[in-house]
Chains A and B, each alone.
Chain A
Amino acid sequence: MMSELSAQSVQIVFAGIILLFGIGLIGLMITRNLIKIVILLQLMAKAAILGMALAGNVAGKPGLGQSLAVTVIVVDTVVAVIALALAVQVQKTWGTLDLKDLSTLRR
């Protein structure tokens, strides 16, 4: 059984979560490179995972939070692998990773 976190450390972890998530969000708003997008998505997912673990702890059910976190880590890795594989194929097929060049909705 994990020991209860103090209120201060909860706040520190929470600030870390917001920081990670914010970096991911702002990054997604400004980057157009497919690889960077995958990395930024990973950052946001990690923030979410941390959030789950923290929420489990605060709610007094650390086991539940941690098991959910592990599940998401697995799923998230698969997402990253497939996204990177797609990025490789995109680069091979179109010769670019720039989203603006890849977009077909409006020319």
Chain B
Amino acid sequence: MLAILIWLAIGLPVVGGLVVAFVGDSREKLQHVVAVGFSAAAAVAALAILPQAGADAAVSVSFGPMFGDLTFVPDGLGAFLAAVATVVGCLAVVFSVDYMAGEAELGRYYSLVLYFIGAMAALALTSNLFFLFLFWEITALCSYALISFYNDDPKAVAGGIKALIITQFGGVGLLALALAAYAQTGSFEISTFLAAAPSIPAVVLSVMAYGALLAAAAKSAQFPFHTWLPDAMEAPTPVSALIHAATMVNAGIYLLARLYPAFADVPGWRTAVVLVGVVSALIAALMAVVATDLKRLLAYSTVSQLGYMVYAVGAGGVFASQFHLLSHAVFKALLFLAAGSIIHSLGTRDMRKMGGVGRQMPFVRNVFIIGAIALIGLPPLNGFWSKELILEEGLLHGPGWAYALMLAGVALTALYTLRGVSMVFFSEDAGPHGHDAGRAMKTSLGILAVGTFVTWLLVGSFSRMMAETLPLHGLHELTIAQLASEISGAPATYLALGAALIGLAAWQWRRRIPGAQQSPGWLLAATESSFGLETANRLIVTAVQKAGAFLQRTQTGQLNWNVAGLAFGLIAVLIILAWSV
């Protein structure tokens, strides 16, 4: 039964993607129905896995001695992330019914989204590092194709290529990790690797640990790889909500959390993870403070919130990171989809041209504000509980400097969120406006808004599931009552709420703060260049192109030279072989 559910959760979206493609773009209505039907069925199947979560492989398909078995293990981490991917995926597809109505090549859009959902569920559930790498790359490919969905727009194409290239660094890190695990343990199974980790030589283990960090940073858009995520906002907004806020970018956090028991004792690794999280959280929050593009604002905020999750893993709070991952997936998908309905209605992403849109779209305004409150981390929404849990873990187990910087990040989060909300909804009317959101849009927004209120109530069963199925992580159950008393009694909570209030006050009384009437010039310049990393990107690209042009000289097109090259290569290989024997 469990095996069937797992195959359904992974297989239904993939089959759905094929069916949508075969339905053809001439029957748009049917395409909507098929996409929503298959994604909803997959979401139901993934939710049905949750109560049966266990630590043993439920599915195992042999792929010969090279790659090991393709195993799916519905443990706490995997089943949970698969559920998030399919449920948010289903809501994004429902939202697309309105958002993408009348778009050309709808089949391509829905197919890619559905393939993505299937690959993401498989990525979450598999426990074979090689297949994890495979699904990891499939999600990257879907992400690339969907960022460049409007493929006659050069910005969309450039954004897609950029995302593909930068996330490749992560793929290489993950592949190195998988191969090293295979070389050391003779198996790609994560459980085998985790059990054998203490006996792996320290040098190899630290290379693997930093490989995992590299993979996670590239996939989750963390410093210094964060530059791809804002440029990925050229994608249709439901895609941004699904892939670039709620699911794919979480894969990095998921990898860190899953392998945490093996790497926790590697010298310097946890500090490095904390550092990556803190730097990402802070610089992304700073960039969000001056953003004028609504989707880029949300993208910066995603990088920043992912930084909090990475920080939590580094501080030892694996459960806190996953709990915030859940909250963030819900409220950030809500924010993105609400932003999507505004953008769909107005035809612009510039927040300066949105003033007063709330009067035409009261429902969207209300749910956006709910999402914003969760993002700031005010009670009683889910963002409050999970962020406080992270900060508490950070205060108790992490370094003090990191905690102080994360508090500053909380204040910045409050500042940029309030700035965004007031620019979009509460500034002077910016002129004629569009229509209200459609029914499908409101359905998914409504469900996500309710989720923002209630997902934190799942903390008890969620923590029990993780504690029971992940014995090596040393987690323990945390009931709602414990959570509430822990959070309300901890000094970290009041420090964080104070920081959030400072941020809110800074925006409220910005006219009284000298020099704060305009965005500071240095910050605008720094944002433009992503704190110098955009410049570094360009330098690398230029260097690669120049090297290519230089190496072109070796391509003479002359058979004689090519054969000579082959012969010398053969001789070199023979010499190396003779040497090693």
Binding site for B on A (CB under 8 A): 25, 28-32, 37, 99-100, 103-106
Residues of B within 8 A of A (CB): 555-560, 563-564, 567
Q: State the total of A-B contacts with C-beta under 8 angstroms.
A: 28
- Would you call B564 and A29 a contact (CB within 8 A)? yes
Question: CA separation between A17 and B567, bound complex, in Å?
Answer: 16
CB proximity of B431 to chain A, nearest CB, Å = 57
Report the bound CA distance from A18 to B19 in whole Å. Answer: 56
Interface contact A28-B560, CB-CB below 8 Å: yes
A32 — which chain B residues lie within 8 A by C-beta?
Answer: 559-560
Task: Please provide the 10 A-B residue pairs with the shortest distance between their CB atoms, ordered closest to farther.
Answer: A105-B557, A28-B563, A103-B557, A29-B564, A29-B563, A29-B560, A25-B567, A99-B559, A106-B557, A106-B556
How far is the CB of B564 from the nearest CB of chain A, in Å? 5
Alpha-carbon separation in the docked complex, A100 to B557 (Å):
9
**A105 pairs with B560, CB closer than 8 A:** no
Residue of B at shortest CB range from A24?
B563
Alpha-carbon distance A29/B568, docked complex (angstroms) = 11
What is the minimal beta-carbon distance from B566 to any residue of chain A, in angstroms?
A: 8
Nearest opposing residue in chain B for A104, CB measure: B557
Not counting A28-B563, A103-B558, a sample of 8 additional A-B residue pairs whose C-beta atoms are within 8 angstroms of each other reads: A29-B563, A37-B559, A99-B558, A99-B559, A99-B560, A103-B556, A104-B557, A105-B555
> When chains A and B are docked, how far (Å) is the Cα of A30 from the Cα of B559?
9
Q: Give Cα A50–Cα B485 distance, bound, in whole angstroms.
A: 82
What residues of chain A lie closer than 8 Å to B563, measured between beta carbons? 25, 28-29
**Pairs across A and B, CB under 8 Å, 19 listed:** A25-B567, A28-B559, A28-B560, A29-B563, A29-B567, A30-B560, A32-B559, A32-B560, A37-B559, A99-B558, A99-B559, A99-B560, A103-B557, A103-B558, A105-B556, A105-B557, A106-B555, A106-B556, A106-B557
> How far is A25 from B556 in the complex, measured between Cα atoms in Å?
18
Tell me the minimal C-beta distance from B570 to chain A in angstroms.
9
Least Cβ distance of B573 to chain A in Å? Answer: 14
Contacts of B559 in A (CB 8 A): 28, 32, 37, 99
Q: Give the residue name and chain of the A residue nearest to B566 (CB).
A: A25
A106–B563 Cα distance when bound, in Å, is 18
Residue of B nearest to A34 (CB): B559
Which B residues lie within 8 Å of A105 (CB)? 555-557
Cα(A32)–Cα(B558), bound, Å: 9
Which residues of A have CB within 8 Å of B560?
28-32, 99
A103: B residues at CB distance < 8 A:
556-558
Residues from chain A with a CB closer than 8 A to the CB of B567 are 25, 29
- A38 to B563: give the CA distance in the assembly, Å: 14
With both chains docked as a complex, state the minimum distance between the C-beta of B552 and any C-beta of chain A, in angstroms: 9
CA distance A105 to B49 in the complex (A): 58
Enumerate chain B residues within 8 angstroms of A100, measured Cβ to Cβ. 558
**Please, which residues of chain A bring their CB within 8 A of the CB of B558?**
99-100, 103
Q: How far is the CA of A103 from the CA of B560 in the complex (A)?
A: 12
Task: Name which residue of chain A comes closest to B555, CB basis.
Answer: A105
Minimum C-beta distance from A32 to chain B (A): 7
Least distance between B560 CB and chain A CB atoms (Å)? 5
Q: Complex Cα distance A61/B197, Å? A: 44
* Residues of chain B lying within 8 A (CB to CB) of residue A99: 558-560
Question: How many angstroms from the CA of A28 to the CA of B566 in the assembled complex?
Answer: 11
Q: Give CA–CA (A22, B563) in the complex, Å.
A: 12
Contacts of A104 in B (CB 8 A): 557
A59 to B557, CA, bound (A): 40
Residue of A nearest to B564 (CB): A29
The complex places the Cα of A7 from the Cα of B69 at a distance, in Å, of 44
Least CB distance from A19 to B in Å reads: 15
Q: How long is the Cα–Cα vector from A105 to B560 in the complex, in angstroms?
A: 14
Chain B residues, Cβ within 8 Å of A29: 560, 563-564, 567
CA distance A104 to B560 in the complex (A): 15
Cα-based distance from A105 to B562 in the complex (angstroms): 13
Cα A37 to Cα B559 in complex, Å, equals: 9
Closest chain B residue, CB of each to CB of A107: B557
Q: How far is it, in angstroms, between the C-alpha of A107 and the C-alpha of B558 when the chains are bound?
A: 11
- Complex: chain A residue closest to B557, CB-CB: A105
Q: Write out the residue numbers on chain A whose beta carbons fall within 8 Å of the beta carbon of B564.
A: 29
Whole-angstrom distance between the Cβ of B569 and the nearest chain A Cβ? 12
Q: Cα distance A30–B567 when bound, in Å?
A: 13
